Each structure stands twice: as structure tokens, then as C-alpha cells.
Amino acid sequence: MPAYSTNMRYKFPILALVLEIITIILFGVFADYDDGKDMRVVWISRNKKNRLFQDVHVMIFIGFGFLMTFLKRYGFSSVGINLLLAAFGLQWGLLTQGFWHMDDGKIKISIFKIINADFSTATVLISFGAVLGKTSPVQLLIMTILEITIFSINEHLVATVLKANDVGASMIIHAYGAYFGLAVARVLYRPSLRNGHENDGSVYHSDLFAMIGTVFLWMFWPSFNSAIADPGVTQLTAVINTYLSLAACVLSAYAISSLVEHKGKLDMVHIQNATLAGGVAVGTCADMNIGPFGAMLIGLVAGIISTLGFKFLSPILAANLGIQDTCGVHNLHGMPGVLGGLAGIVAVALGKKEGGNAAMQAAALASSIGFALVGGVVTGFIMKLPFWGQPPDKNCFDDSIYWEVPEEEDEHEESLAHADHSKNKAEA
């Protein structure tokens, strides 16, 4: 046990309740229902948007939550803390995004704003993947507040000031979330995990749970990338581009996984993650006239670089730069997000988007990465303060430090090693 305790009995409940009460008061002062004055927003709210909201919701809560259940003993935290952070994040995101668009001094809540609030939580859930297993719920609530606040600033800058295109948010969500998380992970570097950790791996069933997350993310990505597109042909284009990019990405991810693995076998880590890189990478261009061919090419490349990243780059980042990226978010969100931003610059330069400006696209990409790195480093140092209940190295990747886990009555039983543990599990 370190000098500072991991016992959360007071610090977690107090933080969670205080945050929620402050949030409710802020909603009492600033929030109201959308009143229908903005007819366009109301119209789309009542129709299609409502459905896209539910699809995005599934991606946030089932998709991200179950994708991270691949760890053998960290499933409760993956899906449970995912729910906690998303539930708090969407409230906080409604506020921080809403402050930029007040109407009569009020944030008027519409389905459109709800979708954007769900989006803002995605950045936190991506960063959560980088630090998964190595942080306490208290630290993660603090990360949520800071990351969403900074996201809202960058999003405002990119969308309103630079007027850059990023309909599927390759830059402002995926690249931002990934590099923010990697910066935090770097600050929280744990030397003793350099040689791995016995719980930092999957078992057969945990890999199947993770595939629930993968497949729901994969299926609903067309809704994610088209949710805030202009209705009509533009939105249809975003659906088709995303659908085709993802399909092409699957083939390249499977091919490269088999090519680089032992005896040509497929690796579940690649399949769970790299098959989604096409959705990330086509995000910025999703509503542009890049053609089915262009979308598929982006997906093909994304699947390749993502899989290669898992195989070759992640070990280098961990060993040489001290970036321990539990879920490999650099490969799923980081590089494909940057690829998406670059593709957007090229597409706009080639005139694939009316009114687009390649310099502004480049500025948006730089801004997103800049805010992510600076914000992540600052946030990381705040999270590193010793009283937030960070788990000791030996308890990383283990639910039982923050959860009542079935079949383990008492903490000191844990030291009764594998023989006993295996018995408990087997009886189950």
C-alpha cells in the first residue's frame, strides 16, 4: 500500500455528488428546452436526427464500453466506468458547448445539441482507452471535466473561427482524443510496467465481449459520420463514403494481420480495432465528393497503417518514449485521425468540398493536435497529484481494486494465488 490510499469511500462519492449538484445548478440557471424558434433545428430534431442520436448513443455506451472489455479482469471498469464518464461527460458537454451558442442567455437543448454532447464524450472515452487499467475513477472524472472543456474550445475554433470541415470529426474527436490520452499516459508513465503485467491481456471470452463493442461501432459509424451533415444528398454521401471505407478497411486489416502474425494467424487485437480505422479516417471527408473510389482507398490505407501500428509502432512508443497505450488508441484513433485530417486537406485542395479552404483544414488539424498535447500534459500532471487514489502498479488492470468482484470475499484472499483463484473461477 502506498502512503496515499486507493480506498475511495469518501473521495469518490463526494466528488461525484458535488460535480452532479453543481451541474444541476448550472442547468437550472442556464438550460432550457429548445423552443422551436430555430425551425431548421426543430425540423431535423423531430425527424431523422432523433434516430441518428440513438445510433451515436449506442456507439458511445455499448461500442466504446464493450470494446475495452478485452482485458481479462477489467470488464467491470471498462463498461462501468465508460458509462459513468459518458453520463457525466454528456451533461458537461451540453454546458461547455452550449455556452458558445446561447440564446436569450439560455442553452436551448435540442436533439442536435444532444448529439454534439454525445460526441464530446467520445474524446474522453478514447483517452480512457490509453490509460485503461492505470487510473482511478476519481482521476478519470477530473480528466472528463478538463478534456471536454478544452474540446469545446478547440471545436469552437475549428468549426466557427476557422470554418474548417470535419463532419465525421477525424480531427476534433479522434486525433484530439487520442493525442490527449497519449499525453496523459506519458505523464502517468509507470516504469515497472515496461515488461508487461500479468493482467494486461485477454482471455477467450473477454475477446468475444470486446467484439460486441467492435461490431456495434462498425455498424453505426455511418450514422456517426453523417449525424451532423446537412440533410439530403450531403448526408447520403456521408453514409455511403463511411460504409465503403469501413468495408475496404476490414479487408486490409485482416490481410495485414495475417501477414505480420506468427504462421499467418489473425490477431484479435487487430480485428477488434483496425477494422474500425476506416471509419475514423474517412471522417473529415465523409460529406465531400471524393467518390466511392476515394472513400475505399482511404479505408484501405487506414486498415493497413492501423494494423502495422499495433504490430510495430506501439511497442516502440512504449519502450522508447514511455507511452503505455493500453488499448492502442494511437493506432485506431491517432494515426487514422491524422490520416483523415490530411485526406481532408487534399480533398479540399482538389475542390471536393464547395467553399472549403485547404489552409483552414491544415490549421484545424494542427489546432486539434496542439490542444490535445498541451491539454493532455496539463491534465496528466493534475491527475498525477497523489491524493486521487491512483492504483499501485501491482493492482493495475484489475477490477477488484475499485469493484466488489464475485467470489472474492476479502482482499487478503487475493494473495492466495492461482491455485485458489482457479478453483473459484472454475466453480463459477
**Please, what is the minimum distance in Å from the beta carbon of residue 243 to its own copies?**
6
Shortest Cβ 363–its own copies spacing (Å): 29
| Beta strand residue intervals within 96-184, DSSP E | 107-109
CB closer to its own copies out of 114 and 173: 114
Q: What is the DSSP string of 366-401?
A: HHHHHHHHHHHHHHHHHHTSGGG-PPPGGGTT-GGG
CB of 85 or CB of 162, closer to its own copies: 85
C-alpha cell at 194: 515496461
Query: Largest Cα–Cα distance in the chain?
Result: 67
Site for its own copies in 125-164 (CB under 8 A): 137
Task: Give the integer Cα–Cα distance in Å for 21 and 95.
Answer: 14
- Which own/partner contact pairs does 189-192 have at CB distance under 8 Å and 24+ positions apart? 189/322, 189/323, 189/324, 190/134, 190/324, 190/393, 190/396, 191/322, 192/393
Q: How far is the CB of 305 from its own copies (least distance, A)?
A: 14
Q: Which of 4, 17, 192, 416 binds its own copies (CB under 8 A)?
A: 17
Placement of cell 438550460 in the chain: 31
Told to check if 8 binds its own copies by CB under 8 A, we report yes
175 versus 229: smaller Cβ distance to its own copies: 229
8 A C-beta contact, residue 323 and residue 332: no
301 scored as a contact of its own copies (CB under 8 A) = no
Site for its own copies in 58-117 (CB under 8 A): 58, 61-62, 65-66, 69, 72-73, 75-76, 79-80, 83-84, 87-88, 90-91, 109-111, 114
Report the nearest approach of its own copies to the CB of residue 91 (Å). Answer: 5
Q: Restricting to residues 241-270, which ones interact with its own copies according to CB under 8 A? A: 243-244, 246-248, 250-252, 254-256, 258-259, 261-268
Residue of the chain from 145, 208, 373, 377 that contacts its own copies (CB under 8 A): 208
What distance in Å separates the CA atoms of residue 187 and residue 377, rounded to the nearest whole number?
A: 7
d(CA 407, CA 54): 36
Distance between CA atoms of residues 252 and 307, nearest Å: 9
Nearer to its own copies by Cβ, of 28 and 355: the residue is: 28
Q: Which stretch in 160-168, 205-213, 334-342, 349-357 sits in contact with its own copies by CB under 8 A? A: 205-213
Of 32 and 163, the one with the shorter C-beta distance to its own copies is 32
- By CB under 8 A, what part of segment 269-298 binds its own copies? 271, 275, 289, 291-293, 296-297
Give residues 19-58 in contact with its own copies (rule: CB under 8 A): 19-21, 23-24, 27-28, 31-34, 36, 42, 45-48, 50-51, 54-55, 57-58
Please identify which residue in 193, 239, 363, 378 interacts with its own copies, judged by CB under 8 A: 239
- For the bound state, the minimum distance from the C-beta of residue 81 to its own copies, rounded and expressed in Å, comes to 9
188 binds its own copies (CB under 8 A): no
Helix (H) or strand (E) holding 220: helix 204-226
Taking the complex as a whole, how short is the minimal distance between the CB of residue 232 and its own copies, in angstroms?
Answer: 6
Residues 355 to 374: which contact its own copies by CB under 8 A? none
Least distance to its own copies from the beta carbon of 368, Å? 26
Nearer to its own copies, 45 or 284 (CB): 45
CB-based contacts of 197, cutoff 8 Å, min separation 6: 393, 396, 397
Pick the binder of its own copies from 176, 180, 209, 371 (CB under 8 A): 209
All three cell numbers of 359: 489552409
Give 107's strand partners.
31
Q: Which stretch binds its own copies (CB under 8 A): 1-9, 124-132, 185-193, 328-336?
A: 1-9
Q: Which of 240, 349, 373, 377 binds its own copies (CB under 8 A)?
A: 240
Half-sphere exposure of 316 (CA within 13 A, CB side): 8
CB 114 within 8 A of CB 98: no
Distances (CA, A) of 372 to 63, 173, 177, 208, 241: 23, 10, 7, 32, 27
Among residues 119, 179, 180, 220, the one that binds its own copies under rule CB under 8 A: 220
Cβ atoms < 10 Å from Cβ of 230: 14
